[in-house]
Amino acid sequence: MAKQAIRVMQLISSLELGGAEKLLLDLLDEKSGNLPVAFTVVVMNQAVNPELKARLMRLNCEVYFLDRPEGHLHWKYLQALLRIVFEQDVDIIHSHNSGSKWWAILCKFCKPSLKLIFTVHDTAPIRQNVFLTFLQRLFVDRHIAISRSVERLCRAEGFVPVSQIYNGIDVSRYRNARRNSLRERVKATPFHSVPLRIVQIGRLYYPKKGQDILIQAIAQCKQQGMSVQATLMGGVYSYSENSYQALKKMVADFHLQDEIDFVVNQTHVSSVLNEADLFVLPSRYEGLGLVVLEAMAAGVPVIVSNIDGPAELVCHGQNGLVFQSGDVDSLVLAISHVYVHPENADFLAKNALDFVKNFDIAVMRQQYCDLYQQTLFNDKSPIGSVLEEVSHGAVF
């Protein structure tokens, strides 16, 4: 009997609070449409957020948790992956981070007919040796770049072919029909009564996400007599614990305990955005900035640093404000503009709401499905032919 759909394994290392994980869950949500692709999800590691796991288990797809300790290289995990590949008759493995990419490559070595797709989510320099770079170029059939900036990085590294597909969000999930304009909000409750409520969302890892810049900006705003409060929301993991502690110390050193609070390892992004007057993304580097799109969809005016992906989303003075990356004074100036001119913030938010409709998850899902078909039926894979010859007659 002929297969009714392309079988795609979505392979990801963890299911923590991050952009890649959120993107994957939205992609798999059956509300996104009925397309000729059947998904199998494999989460490699033990790092699994209970709320995200519960949401994943409600979706209409096969799900496997391999419960692998991070960094563990036992052959049994490859054996488990291959068993799923053959039982589910997988055509394509789509991996979403570096760790899962190498497990996918091992699977292709054992089943040469597999096609491999790898999404590159960031613009950080790719730190791997020449041999690993060679393997990636050889085995990955197609790379997906989430922005034009990421596409340029892929081409510079020789990771081709590459397709640029913007990340998407479920716009309807964040839309807030009851939100008042900022101008109306200020008329009803002036900032001296209820402070300007700023939200930043992202892993609490300031070397990338730049929360230290925002904290310093809040301190300056307070010194200038502005009444502001900020919520820093994001995940804290083993690698970012020191960063989180440093941010808390910075808040204490600036005596901002009443102005800044932390929301750690929570998933209620839409409700936090619903309470916000302003969203700030102070990142030092970023592939795109999914949370920028979420804030736009919620009707919240946005301020972003002039870097990489976010600069592709925000046109200064049209659908948001842009400040000089790493420049506290530049960020303070942008915040003060919203503080003094709430009517202009409403103009920016309205334009952003129109703009973000182009990034609905259904658009991205259709582009992914088109790419799966192209990769499976049209793309040529020289390494696949070589491996077929090497492994001819092998039984797995």
Backbone angles phi, psi at 123, to 5 degrees: -105, 10
By the 8 A CB rule, do 371 and 146 touch?
no
Whether the predicted pLDDT of 34 surpasses 80: no
- Per the structure, the count of domains in the chain is 2
Residue predicted with more confidence, 36 or 306: 306
Same domain, 249 and 152: no
Confidence label for 344 from pLDDT (cuts 50, 70 and 90): very high
Tally Cβ neighbours within 10 Å of residue 324.
Answer: 14
Same domain, 354 and 367: no
By the 8 A CB rule, do 223 and 335 touch?
no
Q: Kindly state whether residue 1 falls inside one of the protein's structural domains.
A: no
Same domain, 61 and 205: no
Confidence label for 3 from pLDDT (cuts 50, 70 and 90): low
Sheet order of strands, 302-305 included:
260-264, 228-234, 196-201, 278-281, 302-305, 321-323
DSSP code at position 321: E
Distance, in Å, from the CA atom of 19 to the CA atom of 322, rounded to the nearest integer, reads: 21
Same domain, 155 and 184: no
Same domain, 336 and 378: no
Distance, in Å, from the CA atom of 95 to the CA atom of 118, rounded to the nearest integer, reads: 5
Same domain, 183 and 149: no
Domain containing 23: what range? 6-168+360-390
> Domain of 76: which CATH number?
3.40.50.2000
Same domain, 137 and 198: no
Whether the predicted pLDDT of 1 surpasses 60: no
The reply to whether the predicted model has a pTM over 0.85 is yes
DSSP code at position 358: G
pLDDT of residue 122: 86
CA distance to 295, 332, 341, 343, 347, per residue, from 183 (Å): 18, 20, 8, 5, 10
Token digits for 103? 């497990």
Q: Please provide the average confidence, as pLDDT, over all residues in the chain.
A: 91
Same domain, 159 and 113: yes
Same domain, 276 and 317: yes
Q: What is the mean pLDDT of residues 182-197?
A: 96
pLDDT in tens, 213-247: 999 999 999 999 999 999 999 999 888 999 999 99
3-state secondary structure of 284: coil
Q: Which of 317, 346, 333 is nearest to 226 (CA)?
A: 333
Same domain, 270 and 181: yes
Confidence label for 36 from pLDDT (cuts 50, 70 and 90): confident
